[in-house]
Amino acid sequence: MLRIIITSLYIIISGCSTMSFVNGPQMDQTVEREQWHHIALFGLIELSRPMDVTYNCANQQWDTITVEKSFFNGISDVSWPYVSVYSPMSIIYKCRQHLD
């Protein structure tokens, strides 16, 4: 019973977070993509390469980038007593389509 209470408390306390970046006025014609970014040891070690917006958007301009800790990222967390060993985050980015 104590284990269920501790697990429930951990899920409630470890809420989600979101950080957004916007590049100029919002465009209607955008393509949205998502990828996970893997970090370890309280975010001190990056296991993934930093996201290259120019490469991922195929030399198009980026519209918005959102970095978030979602519910599914929280489920994937690996913690050992009081140490965050593995903690993924989602990067959702929108690229502007070419306007002809």
Residues 36-57: tens digit of each pLDDT:
999 988 888 899 998 888 888 8
pLDDT tens column, 15-36: 667 899 998 887 777 888 899 9
Please report, for the chain, how many H helices and E strands are present, in that order: 3, 6
> 90 pLDDT band (50/70/90 cuts)?
very high
pLDDT number for residue 92: 93
Whole-prediction pTM: 0.72
Q: In whole angstroms, what separates CA 96 from the centre of its chain?
A: 20
Whether residue 88 has pLDDT greater than 50: yes
